[in-house]
Structure 1
Amino acid sequence: MELLHLRYFVAVAQELNFSMAARKLHMAASPLSRRIKDLENELGHRLFDRDTHRVTLTQAGNALLPIARGVLEQVDSIQWRLDETARPRRATLLLGVPSGVHPDLRERMDALAERVRDRFEIKRWPGGTDRLVDAVCDGRLALTLARLPAGGDPALELLPVMSERLGAVVPRDRFAGRESVALTELTELAYVVSPTAVTNAFFRGLDQQLSELGIKKRIEINGAAFEGISEIVSSGLAFSISMLDPRSPVQNYHLDNVTVLPFSDFQPRLETGLIWRKDRGHGGDLEEVVAAAREVFIEPLHS
């Protein structure tokens, strides 16, 4: 018995019309009828009752139909089952992501995930830069985005991925109509510092710069949430520093009496890098992902 005989049988059983089944099979009705006769002779059972008006399945035909369909389904699934078996299993990689990541950077990360999706599934893990870098060092995370400077461990490798211009977060009513602000205009306000800033190397350095440039007052808050900083700024007691691009997700936490202005006499920028362990990126399990990342981020983003 050939598989084609079963295909012919199933086609006729579905249509209960030899002419229609023949068209579906791209053949003439006469050869199809002969193939069904050959199958009936081989099985020793009549499969169809035929007259000039209709075609019906016999008891043997009804019994054969689910068997034939099952056989054909198994045969038709051979290719994709082999492909699935031969395809390497996808490994799950955890990617650290600090808060306030720019949407353009998220798009690049999506592009990286898509590029390696046949081999790897990239899942994102939130946290502060220092903890995320520590997790890369001890292998809990495969890679991480990090606010620079970060790491410093010679076992780590870094790829610059984005540079963001920072501005002054100030009370809107106090600086109404302004397109920029000078640091000298902020000396009467306190610089509000969150615990996140205290533990981040970049913001520690920025705090020191501000002190050297004449910003002496400080307010430290217990909560690290951006909305808490906005509450203090909106009251007119303080200013802060944040991403200048209005598309930054940090901007979503600003209240009605808060605006972000560029500095006229100060040009701070927040640099972000992608970090991984060298031993995993060179000849290790992340070699393919790192190569893809170098292509995706061949030019770092700027905002």
Structure 2
Amino acid sequence: MEMLHLRYFVAVAEELNFSAAARKLHMAASPLSQRVKDLEHELGQQLFDRSTHHVTLTAAGAALLPLARDVLDQVNAIPWKIREATRPQRSTVFLGMPAGVHPALRERVNTLAGRVHDTYELKRWPGTTADLVQGVHEGKLALTLARLPISDPALEQVPVMSERLGAVVPAELFAGRDSVSLAELTEFPYVASPGEITPAYFDQLDHQLAELGVKKRIRLTNTGYGGTSEIISSGEAFSISMLDEQSPMHGYRLDNVIVLPFTDFRPQLDTGLLWRRDRADGDLHGLVEAAKAVFADPITT
């Protein structure tokens, strides 16, 4: 039995959608489906019930899922367990940092680095939330800050910050205003930054806006947060971002763009600190205990 077959099976079992699982694995759906069929043939069991619109686990698939996860977790743990066995007295570890981390959180990261200095050299590693969470799962990163929600049974998380979000609107159309209602924006298209750089929360927010009457969309590709600001500054759309002026996300604003609080809508972006459960009792015990103390009181803006 090949390890890759188990990885493919777990990805499909978690997504219950071959196309979504294929995107997660950075491969095409057709070869993924064939690899799963190969595993089913090898086991002599059907693992999924497939229909045109639904994929569900069979009894055999449900029985295999925790076993496969356990095997993969053990394999993923090999690198850090080897490092634990051979590491010097003071080891270098990495903490993931998604884009736009608030200065108050950065201060706590610095506090943590100082507190564990004698045992760990804590370095920061940038990336998207999805990539950073995967890095922690695979043992490449010790900890990560990540935009919630995150669902991974191998990881433990604690909330560390809640940031209120506001409407990013053209300044000339809302001059003199100190707030705006969502009802005023229903005729504007909502523009979101490309999905590969935004956390999963913004997908939920997109659906919520649609339910509340914001139906028009502008989808950007091959651009960053600056591209979103460019569209808004032309007066053609609005977006949603951090309200606090101290947020680094305000660095992407152009002159004709302002951020206003909503009067009838209260979105917020939550950030958590994550680590592998099994490492908290192993090579990262001291680091995790220090992190729990430093981040004990969540920050609210």
* TM-score, with structure 2 as normaliser: 0.69
Aligned to 2:125: 125
| Distance in 2, Cα, partners of 1:275 & 1:244 | 25
TM superposition shift of 1:89: 2.6
Taking structure 1 as reference, are residues 199 and 166 closer, same or farther at Cα in structure 2, changes over 3 Å only?
closer
TM superposition shift of 1:183: 0.6
Aligned to 1:293: 291
The within-5 A match list for 1:217-232 is 217-232=216-231
Taking structure 1 as reference, are residues 254 and 199 closer, same or farther at Cα in structure 2, changes over 3 Å only?
closer
Match of 1:196, SS state, is coil
Aligned to 1:8: none
Equivalent pair of 1:197/1:203 in contact (CA under 8 Å): no
Aligned to 1:161: 160
> Does the alignment pair 1:284 with 2:282?
yes
The within-5 A match list for 1:144-293 is 144-150=144-150, 152-196=151-195, 200-281=199-280, 283-293=281-291
| Distance in 1, Cα, partners of 2:183 & 2:196 | 22
> Does the alignment pair 1:95 with 2:91?
no
TM superposition shift of 1:200: 2.7
Structure 1 regions of 5+ residues with no counterpart? Answer: 1-87
Match of 1:95, SS state, is strand
Cα RMSD over matched residues?
Answer: 1.3
Structure 2 regions of 5+ residues with no counterpart? Answer: 1-87
| Distance in 1, Cα, partners of 2:195 & 2:90 | 35
Q: Percent identity?
A: 61
| Distance in 1, Cα, partners of 2:143 & 2:153 | 15
Match of 2:108, SS state, is helix
| Distance in 1, Cα, partners of 2:293 & 2:118 | 17
| Distance in 2, Cα, partners of 1:237 & 1:223 | 19
| Distance in 1, Cα, partners of 2:100 & 2:217 | 23
| Distance in 2, Cα, partners of 1:207 & 1:105 | 26
* Number of positions where the alignment pairs a residue of Structure 1 with one of Structure 2: 214
Equivalent pair of 1:198/1:204 in contact (CA under 8 Å): no
Taking structure 1 as reference, are residues 197 and 175 closer, same or farther at Cα in structure 2, changes over 3 Å only?
farther
| Distance in 1, Cα, partners of 2:122 & 2:187 | 47
Of structures 1 and 2, the larger Rg is shown by 1
Q: Deviations over 1:31-53 (max 9, x none)?
A: xxxxxxxxxxxxxxxxxxxxxxx
Aligned to 1:21: none
| Distance in 2, Cα, partners of 1:111 & 1:196 | 32
Query: Which runs of structure 1 show a deviation greater than 6 angstroms over 4 or more consecutive aligned residues?
Result: none
Taking structure 1 as reference, are residues 155 and 295 closer, same or farther at Cα in structure 2, changes over 3 Å only?
same
Letter in 1 for 2:101: V
Taking structure 1 as reference, are residues 264 and 203 closer, same or farther at Cα in structure 2, changes over 3 Å only?
same
TM superposition shift of 1:90: 1.5
Equivalent pair of 2:128/2:197 in contact (CA under 8 Å): no
| Distance in 2, Cα, partners of 1:286 & 1:179 | 46
TM superposition shift of 1:224: 4.3
Equivalent pair of 2:169/2:258 in contact (CA under 8 Å): yes
TM superposition shift of 1:298: 1.3
* TM-score, with structure 1 as normaliser: 0.69
Letter in 2 for 1:161: V
Equivalent pair of 1:230/1:258 in contact (CA under 8 Å): yes
Q: Deviations over 1:179-223 (max 9, x none)?
A: 100011101111101223786320110000000000011111113
| Distance in 2, Cα, partners of 1:115 & 1:229 | 39
Match of 1:208, SS state, is helix
| Distance in 2, Cα, partners of 1:266 & 1:113 | 37
Match of 1:104, SS state, is helix
Match of 2:227, SS state, is helix
Taking structure 1 as reference, are residues 274 and 237 closer, same or farther at Cα in structure 2, changes over 3 Å only?
same
